[in-house]
Structure formats: C-alpha cells, structure tokens
Amino acid sequence: MPQMIDALYAAGHKPFDLAVERLIALLRVLLTLFCLVDFATAQLPQFYERSAFESILVAYIVFGSIVAWLPIIGKLRTGWQLPVHLIDAGVISYLMYFLQNLSSTFFILYVFVLMSATFRWNWRGAFWTTALVFALQVILFSTNHLVAQFIIQCAFLFIVGGIFAFFGAGRERSANRLNQIAAWPSIRGQTYIDSENHWLDASLVHIANVLQVPRVLIVWEIAQEPYVVMTLFTDGVSIQDRAPAECLDSLVLADLEVATFASEALKSKECITSTGTKYFGTQIIDKTIQTNFKISSVCSAAFSGDNCKGRLFLLDRLGWGQDDLALAEVAASRLRIEIEHYALSIRLEETAASRERIRLSRDLHDGSLQSLAAAALQLKMISAHADETIQDEIDGVRRLILGEQRRIRAFVDDRQSSAQQQSINLHNAIQRRIQKMEDHWGCRIAVQSITPKDSTVTNEVINQIELLVAESVSNAVQHGNASHINITIEKTSGHVQLRIADNGLGLPGTLGTYSQAELAAQGIGPQSIVKRVTELRGTLSLSSSRNGVEIRVKFPVEGQVRNISDREHAFG
C-alpha cells in the first residue's frame, strides 16, 4: 500500500509537459461542449432531469476552462494533474452510466480520459484509469441493474484501455531506450596501445543492453590500413579478428550498402528498411560472414567518417521494428565517433613518435656518433704502438665500434625507412644479425627453428625481433651468467611468435611463470622488453627457474608495428 501511494504521488508530481496539458485541456472543453449540444437536442424520457444534467455539463465546461489556465501559471505546473484526472474519471463515469441510452456520443469520453492518462503516465496511467473507471461503473451498477448496458460499457472500457496501455508501454519503452542510449559511456583519455583491443567493450556492452541483443558484430577499417577488423561481442566478451580489406565492400548487397535494414530470417531474403519492406532474390549479407558468425536474425547500419568506415550488426533478436532501425543508426554513428577517436589517437601517437625519432637522431648525430668516432680514432692510435696480440684485440673492439657507428648513422640518415616495408627472408636476416650478437657478447646463440622456412617479413619486423633478442641476450649474459641461448621463431597468420631460452641462473629471487601484466605490476623481469611488447600490442610471458629464463613473445606484424621512441635499447 505505501508503494502504491508513493507511485500515485510521483505520478501527480511528474515533470510538467506543456504540450500534453494543452492538448488535454483543449480536448476536455471541446468534448464537453459537443456532449452538451448533443444532450440538449436529444429527446429525453420524462424520468430524466434535463436541468440537472445540463448543470453538470456546464459546470464541467467551466472546470475545464479553469484547468486550461493552470499550465500557464508558473507556480501551478505540477501537483494538480492527478486530482484533475480523478475528477475527469468520476464525471465521465457518471455521465456515461446515466446517459448511455441517449447517444453513443458519450463513449468518446472514455477515450478522452484514457488518452489523457496515457499521455501523462504511459501504460500505468491507462491501466489504473481503466481499473478506477471500472470500479466506479460497478458502484453505479449497484444503483441501477442494467446488465446489458453494463456489459457493453465495460467491454468497450477494457478494449480501449488495453489499446492505450499497449501504446503507453511502447511509448515508455522508446523513451527509456533513448535515455539509455543517450547515457553512452564517455570516451576517456586513454592510451590505446595499453588497452589490448578492448577499448570498444564498454560501448558494445551498452549497445547489447539497450537494444537487448545477445551478440553485436562490428566490421570496420581505418583509412590506409591493409585489413578490416571484425569485433564480435558475445557472452560479455569481445573477440577480434582481421580479414582482407576487400571484404568490407561486399558485406551486404549493393542496394543496401548505405541503408539501415533488419531481417528476422535472412533465409527469406526479405528485410525492412526506413522506406518499407523489400525482397531480394539473393543473399542480403555475404554468405561467408553469415556462415562464420551463424547469422539468422539481424539489424544492421553502416557508418563512415574521415578516417574510418564500417558496419554494425545486431544479432539474434526477433521482432525488429522501425524504432530499432533508428536506434541502430544512432549506435552506428556513435561507434563511428569512437573509432575516429581511436584512429586520430593512433595518428597522434605516431606523430609524437616521429618527432621523438627526429630529436633522438639529432642528439645521436651531435653526441654519440662523435664520441664513437673519437673512441675509434684513439683505439687506432693505441693499436699502432701495441704488440700483435693486443693489437688484434683492440682492432676487434674498434670494428665493433665502427659497426655500431654505421648502424647509428643509418638510423640518423633514415636509410632504413625506404626499405622498411620491403619483404625479406626471415631466416637469412636473423642469422646475419645473430652472428653479430655472438661476437658482441661472447656466448653461443642458436636459432633452433624458423617456421615456415621460407617466411618473409618486413625489415621493420626484423628490427623488432633483433631488439627483443638483443635485450634478452644482454640480460641473460650480464645478470644470469648464461653461455648458451636458444631461439625459436614462428610466423603465423598476421603474427610472429618468439621463444628465447637461456641456460643461466634465472631471475634473482624469482621463480615461476609470469604474465605481461604481472611483470609490469610487480616490476620484475626485463621491463624494457615488457614496455616494447606493450607498444607493439603483443603479449609476453616469462618463466624463471634455476636452469635459466624462458621468454615467449607474440606480436602482430600487419600494420601494427610502430616506430618506438625508446630507441636507446637498439644500441645498448
């Protein structure tokens, strides 16, 4: 009971809607005038007191005129709707019951009182008004046992009340869904490199909840990237995969390429659009996509921006309507904003990295290169006055310095950039660079396997592998006293997997296997490698035992390897 009272109080004090109250006030006065004219011209039986009913109708017109002014008075914009509505229900029930033999005109009063309740309080207003009017009719029936009229009147009441309740429920549902979709998760400032491809999760959860769909699929691409991304959200988890860029152009029929549509059964080859129902003689959605994701019921909307384009698919829900098409367009538009934000953020990160690279190049040219040149010259002078044995050792160190000097100069002069994206044989390139590391650190480095044997990657990927191996070898020799290191490389579709194992003493005081997140959180292990793998958007695991350290790295190789500003590790 207290909850019902609270609900009634809230209904009477809901936010004021000027347009609705004006409409209700106007209809109240017009309908009452119409009923008064109809009553005045009707032939009444002698037992009716015409003057009494005319007085009631005139008083109701005056009441309606007064109520019509209430919305204009600022201090009375809330709190009076419920009492006025109760008066409407009482007067109309009285007139309906006692004047039902005169004219069917008074049936429209039922429609008015139910309509005003629905506009004010949606389905709850229609439901409780129907119950209230029915209770009043039962009370009035006890004074005049007109069974046939009572049954007809109640049937009309329940039918009209049910229609308005259904309308009110749909109206409230649409308003709630619009409010929910308006409360979209904010785009927080974030580093997308650290998000592990889950930066869309909050938005996908929001879409699934608002549109009540079990699965959400987004197929999208960023300008100038050689692939499209397929992000599927299901069971609270997002799964991401890639496909050739060409597949985005054939996701749906050409006639639906820019349209928003929905279909409860794709096998029927029929769908609804904003312009009506359409039938096609062929598949609406690409057969491969439909099969891979087991799509049967779908609502889809396209989006396109300056830096991205794609299509949103809402899956596995029945009963699509025009309001779902509108909400799908809103959701697709918001996803476009988020993906545009992502693309611009990545571009800004690349620009910042490029500027840092230029600054680093200048610093290296003006500092390290000159120091290395001076060191090489001094070693040459010392070598000229040393005996043959020492001279060979000095020449070896001098060659190492000259090699690093050439490498730094190549970086400074940007000689690598022109060939950065050219494909080269992975096995040959790694073997050459591994030989230099052996000479540098004086330990045995064995490449156990490279699969497939004829793998080719860009020079950029080779550089990243070399940097990861170089840092691992440095740590193994300096901190673990390792003398032998085994390397395994495997190239899969879009990724490179790297395994580096040494025979050293392991990490001091650390045993067990650790994930990338655990290494970063606890600050243990090679933090430079952890940061590099994170920037490469890869994954890392490390196992430490008394028999050595094993590092496993996996990172993408298609358009994901970026210039890394932390280039000091390349020359350590």
Tokens found for residue 551: 């590092």
Question: Same domain, yes or no, for 23 and 153?
Answer: yes
**Alpha-carbon distance 417 to 411, whole Å?**
9
Structural domain includes residue 498: yes
Q: What is the CATH number of the domain that holds 454?
A: 3.30.565.10
Q: Which residue has the tokens 């009719």?
A: 137
Q: Strands 215-222, 495-502: parallel, antiparallel or unpaired by DSSP?
A: unpaired
b/e per residue, 189-221, with b = 16+ CB within 10 A?
eeeeeeeeeebbbebbebbbebbebebbbbbbb
- CA neighbor of 357 nearest in space, from 566, 530, 192: 566
**Alpha-carbon distance 541 to 2, whole Å?**
59
pLDDT of residue 138: 83
CB contact set of 337 (below 8 Å; sequence gap of 6+): 187, 305
**Alpha-carbon distance 339 to 547, whole Å?**
46
Question: Same domain, yes or no, for 75 and 108?
Answer: yes
Identify the burial level of 490 via C-beta atoms within 10 angstroms of its C-beta, where 0-12 means exposed, 13-18 middle and 19 or more buried: middle
Question: Same domain, yes or no, for 204 and 175?
Answer: no
Q: What is the DSSP string of 260-273?
A: -EEES-GGGTEEEE
pLDDT of residue 215: 95
Give 474's strand partners: none
Q: Which residue has the tokens 């655990």?
A: 518
For residue 452, is the peptide bond before it cis, meaning its omega torsion is within 30 degrees of 0? yes
Question: Same domain, yes or no, for 45 and 166?
Answer: yes
Final residue before a domain boundary, out of 297, 314, 348:
348
| Contact by Cβ (8 Å): 357, 563 | yes
Q: How far is CA 243 from the centre of its chain?
A: 20
Determine what percent of the chain falls in helix, strand and coil, rounding each to the nearest 5: 60, 20, 25
Question: Same domain, yes or no, for 462 and 432?
Answer: yes
Structural domain includes residue 494: yes
Structural domain includes residue 401: no
In tens, the pLDDT along 187-217 reads 655 555 545 567 888 889 989 988 889 999 9
pLDDT of residue 416: 44
First to last CA, the chain: 77
- DSSP class of residue 415 equals T
Domain count within the chain: 3
Structural domain includes residue 354: no
Question: Same domain, yes or no, for 225 and 178?
Answer: no
- Quick check: helix, strand or coil at residue 480? helix
Question: Same domain, yes or no, for 178 and 215?
Answer: no
pLDDT of residue 563: 39
Question: Same domain, yes or no, for 166 and 245?
Answer: no
Question: Same domain, yes or no, for 175 and 203?
Answer: no
Question: Same domain, yes or no, for 203 and 175?
Answer: no
pLDDT of residue 567: 35
- Quick check: helix, strand or coil at residue 233? strand
Structural domain includes residue 379: no
Tokens found for residue 476: 């193994």
Is the whole-model pTM more than 0.75? no
The boundaries of the domain holding residue 303 are 199-348
Structural domain includes residue 191: no
In tens, the pLDDT along 293-321 reads 999 899 999 999 888 899 999 999 888 98
Cα 425 to Cα 19, 458, 466, 493, 555: the distances in Å are: 73, 9, 14, 16, 18
Question: Same domain, yes or no, for 55 and 162?
Answer: yes
CB contact set of 418 (below 8 Å; sequence gap of 6+): none
- CA neighbor of 177 nearest in space, from 327, 328, 319, 318: 327
b/e per residue, 50-74, with b = 16+ CB within 10 A?
eeebeebbeebbebbeebbebbeee
Question: Same domain, yes or no, for 123 and 6?
Answer: yes
Q: What is the DSSP string of 73-133?
A: SGGGSSS-HHHHHHHHHHHHHHHHHHSTTT-GGGHHHHHHHHHHHHHHHHHHHHHHHHHHH
**Alpha-carbon distance 462 to 107, whole Å?**
84
How many residues in total does the chain contain?
572
How many other CB atoms are there within 10 angstroms of residue 349's CB atom?
Answer: 17
Final residue before a domain boundary, out of 182, 214, 230:
182
Q: How far is CA 334 from the centre of its chain?
A: 8
Structural domain includes residue 194: no
> Which amino acid belongs to residue 178?
L
Final residue before a domain boundary, out of 323, 348, 373:
348
pLDDT of residue 14: 52
Sign of CA dihedral 212, 216, 221, 222: positive
The series of mean pLDDT values per 10 residues for the chain, 572 residues long, is 52 56 75 72 58 75 75 58 77 67 60 83 87 82 71 80 86 80 69 61 89 92 82 88 77 89 88 88 88 91 91 91 89 90 80 72 64 70 74 73 68 51 79 80 88 84 87 87 92 88 88 89 86 86 92 78 37 34
**Alpha-carbon distance 411 to 60, whole Å?**
91
Q: What is the CATH number of the domain that holds 204?
A: 3.30.450.40
Tokens found for residue 106: 């008074």
pLDDT of residue 502: 94
Structural domain includes residue 121: yes
